Amino acid sequence: MNPLRSARVLAVALLAAASTLAPAAPAAAVPGRVVVSGTTLADLAAKTAEAVCPAGTLLLGGGGRVTGGNGVAQLNHTGPRADGRAWQATAYPHEGYRDGVFVPVTPFAVQAWAVCGTGVTGHTIVRTSYESLPGQTTGTAKAYCPKGRKAIGLGGSVHKSRFILDDLVVDAALGMVTVQWNRAREVVPGDYAGLVGWGDVWAICVDPVPGQQRAYAASPLDTADKSVVVTCPAGTTVHGIGGALGYADNGAKFEAMAPWTGSGTAQAAARPMVYGTTTPWQVSAMAICAA
């Protein structure tokens, strides 16, 4: 793996005074939890959806989903807005040929979700930015929570349609969020030889709260389109959402890392690129749960 040309870590502390964010409801680990969403119009262009947290709440996590697109639109970005007040999801079209037949993009829309809440302390958004070298086909970037805090949300992006958001995961100790990206397969060798991609990885960190833990589920290993749902343990709800592609050999892409039915489940969905993998591959879904 080639070294990253640039990486910087930006920590934005968003500490809320208890007097201004005290919930009216009985005390809970993450009181005032609310999920909001925003959806774009459907057309052929790359686009970003945004979900804004209500006033008086903090951004804790989020997710995104692509709908439509004829199977050639991919989720490249799911992460906080620069000011830490909203969640954004971005998708790009990536048309290509399958068995000599051109597969065009059709109108697609993007939906973003923001998980917001009150009552937590030590709220900090840690961001690491990265840039790939020309010709670099894969790379990894990490964001670390400050000492004594744990991740409650995670985000990641890669800002080129010819690059794939491959992994967005958190470690079992909830101290580190990792993004891995891959350059998509080339239709003609050398097509992307000088292409440079860039992106970000985010860890949304808080002082530990009850029930804060990672949940994980994986799909079967086969050649079909994939959707897998992860469920939080009883008494906890989803706050952060991630996922990973396995054995796809740069030939599959995400269409969703998003909330699922109810407050305790999340989904990761993916399918092969137009000229992508034909061997068995896998998708996993990951959730950060808290009471």
Residue found under tokens 């137009």: 274
Closest CA to 284 of 261, 265, 267, 259: 267
Closest CA to 126 of 99, 145, 112, 98: 145
DSSP, collapsed to helix, strand or coil, labels residue 197 as coil
Positive or negative, the CA dihedral 142, 249, 73, 71 is: negative
Over residues 275-286, mean pLDDT: 89
Closest CA to 75 of 258, 251, 265: 258
- Determine contact, residues 195/139, Cβ cutoff 8 Å: no
List the structure tokens of 160: 């080129």
The per-residue pLDDT for 197 is 81
**Where along the chain do its domains lie?**
6-215
Q: What is the pLDDT of residues 110-149, one digit of tens each?
A: 999 999 999 999 999 999 999 888 878 889 999 999 999 9
Picking from 122-126, 211-215, 250-254, which range would have the lowest pLDDT averaged per residue?
250-254
Q: What is the pLDDT of residues 191-209, one digit of tens each?
A: 777 778 889 999 999 999 9
Q: Cα(243)–Cα(177) distance, rounded to whole angstroms?
A: 11
Total-model pTM: 0.87
